[in-house]
Chains A and B, each alone.
Chain A
Amino acid sequence: MLCSMCKEREAKVHYTKIVADKIQKVDLCEECAKSKGMNDPTAFSLADELFGLGAALEIEQAGDGTCLKCPACGFTQADFKKAGRLGCPECYQTFAEPMGSLLKTMHKGTRHVGKVPESLRQNRDVSDRLKNLQKRITKAIEEEDFEKAAILRDEIKQITVRAASNTTS
């Protein structure tokens, strides 16, 4: 997002002001924010307090006016706007698109890098290994090393067969 003043630099200071029922949002780069005296740290806590509301708004705007509704629990965007919370785990799928930009402003990243339940950890290992093997196959074919590609293909077959028997047993 570009700074709304100079329209040159990346906006890093996002300022939301609510007067009565009107909401104003300003996105500024660091330089322009400083020149406007908006680098006042108390403004941060203000933005923090308004976060829930601002977040809901963002979701609403991203939805292009069409009101999304979760098929699992019936939760709507309007509900999110009111509560600042979601209805059920499935909602993350329903609201995935508008949620993306929101998570970016909220967190350090948009991909989970922490703990994974053990039962899923094995699955993840398998899929990581398969992805890796697939990459190596593509490379081997590019290099016309078909013997190597054949070995890798057999390895993939073995892993998929084993994984399938694990889930059925």
Chain B
Amino acid sequence: MELDVFLIPPAESARRKGPHDRIVMSSRVRLARNLKDAAFPGWAKKPERIRVLELLRPAIEALPEMKGSFTGTMDSLSSLDKQILVERHLISREHAAKSAGSGLVLNREETLCFMINEEDHLRMQALRPGLQLRQAWAAIDQADSALEKKLNYAFSPELGYLTACPTNLGTGIRVSAMLHLPGLVLAEQINPIIQSVNKLGLAVRGLYGEGTEALGNVFQVSNQMTLGESEAAIVERLEKVLAQIIEHEENARATLLEKNPKMVYNHIGRAYGILANAHSISSKETMNLLSLMRLGVDMGSFPGVDRSLVDELFILTQPAHLQKEHSEKLSAEERDLLRADMVRERLRPVRRPIVPPAVSLGAGLDKPTK
């Protein structure tokens, strides 16, 4: 099956709901696993990578939860399709750069994704909307337990699951959440938050993971250490830290509205003004302005507008998704024009932002239970 036929339409995936999805856009748990008698993908020769791929792929496809999944080798996918998978956060940028000897198995719901021969033989991840780390861990743990019966994992009682990079050694787990934190950014509190999260041994990254910038005020928080701590303990630690970040973000929003409402509504109004009227707009500017509109939706500036309208545009306005809508190859300039056209069209039914009456301020606060 063609990938674009298989993938869930952005309108649908933007409507998925999860706990605290006002701030936590998605949760993810990833496990790194390797086979015992094979060199890691970065060192293995092509025939060995192909042997590993041909061993792993059927084992994954046979899992009951992977019934009707999309499966392919990286050399069979076009670079555009790979880019789309990256924009949907289903595969890493590194994996998109792979070709023969690497592969992908993705389930129908796009909640389970297996990368074969990325940095490790197997990188499997479970994704959930909103804050659902435990659910994501349970799902990937189950898949892993089923696979270990059929595969001979590289495991040492002392060091745990052996991985290509020593930073993933032990549990091989990466627990992460994607957070939308415009309040903390506007209140200029984001840097101290990032620093204190770093001190707890957690990493804060941009929208597309390692080494990327925080476009659209979206940040990824994840564990860094994988050895010497159990999976459950790591999940729990992340949960605690996330609950605090959520609270800080809500507090920042409430304080901004109380102390400096003009600044907030100025940002939201200008964001709407540009998005609804621009005739050429870059992907980066779009992300940053959509973030402010998302904040506006959360704050009641756009009555009757659902957050999914903004979240769908978050997906659709990215370069590869935009290119996919058009048969001819677009230049960056052409994409900027078409992006602006699309956003203007989508925002046509959205009325100018209002300053909601003070009573409703803070009423929708999403305070996590600790």
Residues of A near any B CB (own CB < 8 A): 41, 44-45, 48, 51, 55, 73, 75, 79, 83-89, 92, 99, 102-103, 106-120, 124
**Contacts A106-B225, A110-B227 given: A124-B170 contact, CB under 8 Å?**
no
**Contacts A114-B229, A118-B148 given: A85-B154 contact, CB under 8 Å?**
no
**Contacts A75-B43, A107-B170, A109-B229 given: A92-B156 contact, CB under 8 Å?**
yes
Which residue from A114, A118, A120 sits with its C-beta under 8 Å from B171? A114
**Contacts A112-B170, A117-B153 given: A73-B226 contact, CB under 8 Å?**
no
**CB nearest to A119 among chain B residues:** B148
Contacting pair A102 B227 (CB below 8 A): no
Contacting pair A107 B164 (CB below 8 A): no
> Hey, which chain A residues are within 8 Å of B155, CB to CB?
116-117, 120
Residues of B near any A CB (own CB < 8 A): 34, 36, 38-40, 42-44, 119, 141, 144-145, 148-149, 153-162, 164-167, 169-171, 173, 195, 198-199, 201, 203, 225-231
> Hey, which chain B residues are within 8 Å of A79, CB to CB?
43
Contacting pair A88 B40 (CB below 8 A): yes
> Hey, which chain B residues are within 8 Å of A112, CB to CB?
156-161, 169-171, 227-228
Contacting pair A87 B171 (CB below 8 A): no
Contacting pair A85 B157 (CB below 8 A): no
Contacting pair A115 B231 (CB below 8 A): yes
* Complex CA–CA separation, A110 to B165 (angstroms): 15
Measured CB to CB, the closest approach of chain A to B30, in angstroms, equals 14
Measured CB to CB, the closest approach of chain B to A125, in angstroms, equals 12
> Hey, which chain A residues are within 8 Å of B36, CB to CB?
89
> Hey, which chain A residues are within 8 Å of B38, CB to CB?
88
> Hey, which chain A residues are within 8 Å of B42, CB to CB?
83, 85
**Contacts A102-B166, A118-B145 given: A113-B229 contact, CB under 8 Å?**
yes
* Complex CA–CA separation, A88 to B38 (angstroms): 6
* Complex CA–CA separation, A88 to B43 (angstroms): 8
> Hey, which chain A residues are within 8 Å of B39, CB to CB?
73, 75, 87-88
Contacting pair B195 A106 (CB below 8 A): no
29 contacts between A and B (CB under 8 A): A55-B166, A73-B39, A79-B43, A83-B42, A83-B43, A84-B165, A85-B165, A86-B166, A88-B44, A92-B169, A99-B166, A106-B225, A107-B228, A109-B229, A110-B228, A111-B159, A111-B228, A112-B157, A112-B160, A112-B161, A112-B171, A113-B229, A114-B160, A114-B171, A116-B157, A117-B153, A118-B145, A118-B149, A120-B157
Contacting pair B166 A41 (CB below 8 A): no
**CB nearest to B145 among chain A residues:** A118
> Hey, which chain B residues are within 8 Å of A84, CB to CB?
165
* Complex CA–CA separation, A120 to B158 (angstroms): 12
Measured CB to CB, the closest approach of chain A to B98, in angstroms, equals 15
* Complex CA–CA separation, A81 to B148 (angstroms): 32
**Can you name 20 extra interface pairs (CB under 8 A) apart from A108-B201, A110-B228?**
A41-B199, A44-B198, A48-B203, A55-B166, A85-B40, A86-B164, A88-B43, A89-B162, A92-B159, A92-B169, A106-B166, A111-B158, A112-B158, A112-B169, A112-B170, A112-B228, A114-B230, A117-B148, A118-B149, A120-B157
Contacting pair B173 A114 (CB below 8 A): yes
> Hey, which chain A residues are within 8 Å of B156, CB to CB?
92, 112
Measured CB to CB, the closest approach of chain A to B367, in angstroms, equals 28
Contacting pair A86 B40 (CB below 8 A): yes
> Hey, which chain A residues are within 8 Å of B164, CB to CB?
85-86
**Contacts A108-B225, A114-B173, A114-B229 given: A41-B198 contact, CB under 8 Å?**
yes
Contacting pair A89 B225 (CB below 8 A): no
Contacting pair B170 A114 (CB below 8 A): yes
* Complex CA–CA separation, A118 to B230 (angstroms): 16
> Hey, which chain A residues are within 8 Å of B157, CB to CB?
112, 116, 120, 124
Q: Which of B149, B170, B201 has the most CB atoms of chain A within a 10 A radius of its CB? A: B170
* Complex CA–CA separation, A92 to B156 (angstroms): 9
**CB nearest to A49 among chain B residues:** B211
